[in-house]
């Protein structure tokens, strides 16, 4: 079998000026003290776009900092206790981590020691596809045949799956997340281990779980994996209660073939059956951000009477009224959920939402005061009534017409 390697000429992330500068600083000349590792290598092997570029090095963190600074590269000690230094070259960050071995683990955190042994560093990683190291010339160090697994989309634990999970419980969710993104089914041994150890997820911080679960939901088609998590009693540890798989899967299916980016929060709302109370409970449990809570509440909570019900097929006046009272983002979210529920096509309405800009009511309270309306509750009621007339007109009535100075006809 021909040796698997990456041709640097085909991978600009390996030969960019910032990558060359960092590698030259850490491993000058013919030295082999730094190698690309992790997601960048995995994605390159699969032919997927490469995002962040990570580097592993046999240098200790203090030596990494010294080497970068000597080369005029900014070094940020972002995680020295874990051996991580961030190099900032050309304004872009690049994470560099010293080779490590685990001394002690408890499923949430690890005590590590530094090592010079690349195989030891590889053995502490989670999946074979994430334990492939690429040298500058594109040759690979691949002790667990991870390159073949990466290309085939196989998510395989290194060694005993239950032992890997015992070291870090988050690997349960990472297993399902990678399976969702690879879309090639699930390794039976890995799946059994995740199901057996599912209760361990309860010991993790909500922030870590929430971040990983959202990344899972952003996969092109996470449906089969989420269903497998439910059948294996893994999802219940994160989210007790009833779930609406029909709406969840319908939302995913309705997006096929359309230029719509996978949306974790929208899929979460569908999985909850658009139940505002269930979503609020999950947000509290997962310590969701204020912005996330606000958006989820807008797509699942009660709708103001003035806005009316948002449906996939709506007449333009009703749609514009909903835009005005709810905002186009909340309306777009509700349109997609209703489309998934009813199978009605919401694409035209969604395009209007993308292009809608909120108009400004041409009348103010001061205008009414100057017209003789006394300040107080009546002023607010009169202004609200004029606003409704203006909305009913399709936002066409002018200030003079609203104040009765012109014939609105």
Beta strands in 91-228 (DSSP E): 92-98, 100-105, 110-114, 133-134, 140-141
What's the pLDDT at 47? 94
* Residue 126 to residue 149: CA distance in whole angstroms: 13
Cβ density class 165-176: b for 16+ within 10 Å, e for less: bbbbbbbbbbbb
List the one residue out of 233, 132, 219, 133 whose CA is nearest residue 184: 219
Please say if the pLDDT value at position 343 is more than 60: yes
* Residue 61 to residue 124: CA distance in whole angstroms: 19
* CB < 8 Å & 24+ apart, contacts of 277-283: 278/241, 281/241, 282/239
Strand, helix or coil for residue 191: helix
On the CB side of 171, CA atoms within 13 Å amount to 30
For residue 407, name the pLDDT band (cuts at 50, 70, 90).
very low
List the one residue out of 22, 16, 18 whose CA is nearest residue 70: 22
Query: Is residue 140 a contact partner of residue 6, using CB atoms and an 8 Å limit?
Result: yes
* Residue 298 to residue 346: CA distance in whole angstroms: 18
Distance of CA 406 to the CA centre of its chain: 53
What's the pLDDT at 319? 95
What's the pLDDT at 408? 47
160-238 to CATH, choices 1.10.540.10, 3.65.10.10, 1.10.110.30, 1.10.3720.10: 1.10.110.30
Strand, helix or coil for residue 304: coil
Mean pLDDT on 124-131? 96
Please say if the pLDDT value at position 232 is more than 60: yes
For residue 242, name the pLDDT band (cuts at 50, 70, 90).
confident
What pTM, to 2 d.p., does this model score? 0.90
For residue 409, name the pLDDT band (cuts at 50, 70, 90).
very low
Please say if the pLDDT value at position 228 is more than 90: yes
More confident residue, 81 or 212: 212
Q: What is the pairing mode between strands 92-98 and 54-57?
A: parallel
Query: For the chain, what is the mean pLDDT?
Result: 93
Q: What is the pLDDT of residues 351-393, one digit of tens each?
A: 999 999 999 999 999 999 998 888 888 899 999 999 999 999 9
* Percent of the residues in the chain that have a pLDDT greater than 70, as a whole number: 98
Query: Is residue 271 a contact partner of residue 252, using CB atoms and an 8 Å limit?
Result: no
Q: Hey, how many other C-beta atoms are within 10 angstroms of the C-beta on 120?
A: 15
Mean pLDDT on 208-233? 96
Mean pLDDT on 20-39? 95
What's the pLDDT at 2? 54
Instruction: Read off the DSSP letter of residue 86.
Output: E
Query: Is residue 346 a contact partner of residue 335, using CB atoms and an 8 Å limit?
Result: yes
* Percent of the residues in the chain that have a pLDDT greater than 90, as a whole number: 84
The burial of 39, by beta-carbon neighbours within 10 Å (0-12 exposed, 13-18 middle, 19 or more buried), is given as: middle
Q: Where are the domains of the chain?
A: 1-154, 160-238, 300-355, 365-402
Among positive and negative, which fits the CA dihedral 365, 369, 371, 372? positive
Mean pLDDT on 65-88? 94
What's the pLDDT at 373? 87
For residue 405, name the pLDDT band (cuts at 50, 70, 90).
low
* Residue 9 to residue 20: CA distance in whole angstroms: 13
Beta strands in 115-200 (DSSP E): 133-134, 140-141
* Residue 328 to residue 325: CA distance in whole angstroms: 9
1-154 adopts what CATH topology? Answer: Beta Polymerase; domain 2 (3.30.460)
What's the pLDDT at 4? 82
What's the pLDDT at 357? 95
């Amino acid at each position: 079998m021909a040796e698997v390697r990456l041709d640097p000429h085909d991978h600009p992330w390996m030969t960019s000026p910032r990558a060359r500068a960092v590698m030259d600083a850490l491993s000058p000349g013919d030295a082999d003290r730094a190698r690309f590792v992790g997601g960048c290598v995995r994605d390159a092997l699969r032919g997927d776009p490469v995002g962040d570029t990570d580097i592993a090095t046999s240098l200790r963190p203090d030596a990494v900092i010294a080497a970068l600074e000597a080369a005029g590269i900014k070094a940020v000690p972002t995680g020295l206790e874990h051996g991580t230094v961030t190099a900032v070259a050309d304004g872009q960050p690049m994470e560099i981590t010293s080779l490590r071995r685990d001394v002690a683990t408890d499923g949430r955190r690890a005590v590590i020691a530094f090592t010079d042994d690349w195989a030891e560093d590889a053995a502490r990683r989670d999946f074979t596809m994430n334990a492939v190291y690429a040298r500058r010339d594109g040759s690979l160090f691949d002790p667990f045949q991870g390159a073949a697994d990466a290309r085939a989309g196989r998510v395989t634990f290194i060694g005993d799956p239950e032992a890997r999970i015992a070291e870090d419980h988050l690997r349960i969710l990472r297993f399902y997340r990678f399976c969702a993104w690879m879309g090639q089914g699930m390794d039976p041994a890995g799946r059994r281990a995740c199901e057996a150890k599912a209760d361990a997820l309860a010991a993790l911080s909500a922030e870590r779980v929430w971040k990983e679960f959202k990344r899972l939901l952003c996969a092109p088609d996470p449906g089969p994996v989420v269903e497998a998590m439910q059948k294996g009693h893994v999802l219940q540890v994160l989210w007790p209660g009833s779930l609406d798989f029909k709406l969840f899967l319908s939302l995913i299916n309705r997006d096929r073939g359309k230029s719509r980016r996978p949306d974790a929060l929208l899929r979460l709302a569908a999985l909850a059956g658009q139940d505002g109370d269930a979503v609020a409970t999950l947000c509290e449990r997962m310590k969701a951000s204020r912005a996330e809570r606000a958006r989820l509440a807008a797509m699942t909570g009660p709708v103001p009477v003035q806005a009316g019900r948002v449906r996939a097929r709506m007449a333009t006046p009703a749609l514009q009224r909903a835009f005005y009272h709810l905002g186009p983002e909340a309306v777009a979210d509700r349109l997609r959920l209703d489309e998934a529920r009813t199978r009605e096509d919401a694409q035209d309405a969604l395009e209007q939402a993308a292009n809608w800009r909120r108009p400004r009511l041409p009348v103010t309270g001061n205008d009414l005061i100057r017209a003789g309306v006394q300040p107080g509750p009546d002023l607010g009621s009169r202004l609200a009534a004029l606003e409704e007339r203006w909305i009913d007109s399709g936002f066409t009535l002018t200030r003079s017409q609203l104040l009765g100075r012109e014939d609105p006809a």
